[in-house]
Structure 1
């Protein structure tokens, strides 16, 4: 609670002398009356800006980690499918689906072209406006020459 002074409290009474600091204090308090509480608002805004920036960094980091996981899962699913196709299994996409699910990813597409297998997998993110990220991979035997 702020105590208001009367305007004449800084001026000397008859028989008493006023100090310069008392008059300066009185003038300073009247001129800065509108600045009271501005430090609190600035502090709150600084905390809000820091929270928004940290959240953006965290969400961006989550997307980058999920992209890396999706790339890894796609590579492993394609290699599993290509190995299955090389071994002559009936449906190499079953092995690709198993490999992607073991890597916490979802197999979206799987195409078999001879012994080559092309897959596309998706990984869920924790970001509200980017629900998942997807990556493609292709694997097959390399001809020796």
Structure 2
């Protein structure tokens, strides 16, 4: 066997195994005992708590974001419904008063409610509107609602 192919063994390892061969009780070095105790106590798991903490914070952030987006969506639905109702009532009142184009007042009502008038139909004194409101939700950028208003016949 050449010198290069021979495995390198430290003196500490030689002494430790020599104690078994010659029946001499060998005490393991203090560093080996300390390392063994640390391994068994889980001290080499340093950093795993940090990763768990980061994951917990990430999950909490995702849940809070989902709740915030859901809340924004519900508020926008309510705003769209209110804007549609007000626009329909304003248009119906304008139609009842005999204005030339009741949709102008409906458009004004939706603009004041920070919405957009999508559809406005006038059938005699009845006005039907469709209103859209922008949301902060990525998969639903607009929310639209329809409303109809007009005089009710008394019987």
TM-score by length of 2: 0.77
Answering whether residue 29 of structure 2 is matched by residue 29 of structure 1, we say no
Structure number with larger C-alpha Rg: 2
CA distance in 2, matches of 1:115, 1:27: 89
TM-score by length of 1: 0.82
Partner of 1:38: 48
Equivalent pair of 2:38/2:44 in contact (CA under 8 Å): no
- Which structure 2 segments of 5+ residues have no match? 1-27
CA distance in 2, matches of 1:30, 1:121: 66
CA RMSD of aligned residues (A): 1.7
Partner of 2:137: 127
Alignment coverage as a number of residue pairs: 127
Answering whether residue 113 of structure 2 is matched by residue 103 of structure 1, we say yes
Q: Which has the higher strand share?
A: 1
Shift of 1:131: 1.0
Structure 1 consecutive aligned stretches of length 4 or more whose deviation exceeds 4 Å: none
